[in-house]
Amino acid sequence: MKVRVLVRPKAGILDPQGEAVRSALPALGFGGVQTVHVGRLIELELESADEVDAMCRRLLSNPTIEEYEWEVLS
């Protein structure tokens, strides 16, 4: 099966990458963007989704600064 994991900075964590993108958008003529957060998309192909949560906690995200969610694609 295919699983998609989304990792992003926790709310309130300084996100300089997101901030850089946010401030670059108006320069290109895209107005009205209030916030931008840049995260990471990880796609896994595996037999079972039983251990995805553990994978997220132990390796795919760093719980100190990031939160994650995942979904089964197919």
Partner 1 sequence: MRIGVTVFPGSNCDRDALYAVERLGAEPVELWHADPDLKGVDAVIVPGGFSYGDYLRPGAIARFARVMGPLERFAEEGGPVIGVCNGFQVLTEAHLLPGALLRNTSMRFVCDRVRVRVETNATPWTAALAPGDELTLPVAHNEGNFFADPETLARLEDEERVVLRYLENPNGSANDIAGVCNEGRNVVGVMPHPERVSDPALGSDEGLRLLRSVLVGAGV
* Residues at the interface with partner 1 (CB under 8 A): 13-14, 16-17, 20, 40, 59-60, 62, 64-65
Contact 58, 18 (CB under 8 A): no
- Of 28 and 59, which CB lies nearer to partner 1 in the complex structure? 59
Least distance in Å: CB of 29 to partner 1? 21
Residue 64 backbone dihedrals phi, psi, to 5 degrees: -65, -35
Least distance in Å: CB of 20 to partner 1? 5
State how far Cα 9 lies from the chain centre.
7
- Of 27 and 74, which CB lies nearer to partner 1 in the complex structure? 27
Q: What is the Cα Rg of the chain in Å? A: 15
